[in-house]
Amino acid sequence: MKQVTTYEHKKILVLGLAKSGVSAAALLHKLGAFVTVNDNKPLAENPEAQGLLEQGIKVVCGGHPVELMDEGFELVVKNPGIPYHNPMIVKAMEKQIPIITEVELAYQISEAPFIGITGTNGKTTTTTLVFEMLQASEKKPLIAGNIGTVASGVAQEAHPDNHIVIELSSFQLMGISAFRPKIAILTNLYEAHLDYHGTLNEYHHAKAKLTENQQESDYFIYNADQEKVVKIAQSSRAKLIPFSTKKPLERGAFVEDGWLFCNGEKVISLSEIALPGLHNLENILSAVAAAMLAGADRESIVHVLKTFTGVRHRLQYVEEVSGRKFYNDSKATNILATQKALSAFEAPVVLLAGGLDRGNSFDELIPTLKGVKGLVTFGQTAEKIEAAGREAGIKTIVRVDNVEKAVPEAFKLSDAGDVILLSPACASWDQYKTFEVRGDMFIEAVHKLK
Q: Could you give the strand order of the β-sheet that contains 58-61, starting from the edge strand earlier in sequence?
A: 58-61, 34-39, 11-15, 75-78, 99-100
Count of C-beta atoms within a 10 Å radius of residue 272:
11
Taking a C-beta distance cutoff of 8 angstroms, is the pair 191, 226 a contact?
no
Nearest one of 216, 194, 201, 210 to 103, comparing CA atoms: 210
Residue 126 known to bind ligand: no
Taking a C-beta distance cutoff of 8 angstroms, is the pair 107, 179 a contact?
yes
Residue 374 known to bind ligand: no
Taking a C-beta distance cutoff of 8 angstroms, is the pair 252, 289 a contact?
yes
Q: What is the three-class DSSP state of 142?
A: strand
Nearest one of 225, 422, 398 to 318, comparing CA atoms: 422
Residue 119 known to bind ligand: yes
Residue 124 known to bind ligand: yes
Residue 122 known to bind ligand: yes
Residue 118 known to bind ligand: no
Residue 405 known to bind ligand: no
Taking a C-beta distance cutoff of 8 angstroms, is the pair 305, 275 a contact?
yes
Count of C-beta atoms within a 10 Å radius of residue 357:
15
The whole-angstrom separation of Cα 410 and Cα 297 is 43
Taking a C-beta distance cutoff of 8 angstroms, is the pair 407, 427 a contact?
no
> Residue 359: how many CA atoms within 13 Å on its side-chain side?
4
What is the DSSP-derived secondary structure letter of residue 113? -
Enumerate the known binding-site residues: 119-125
Enumerate the known binding-site residues for ATP: 119-125
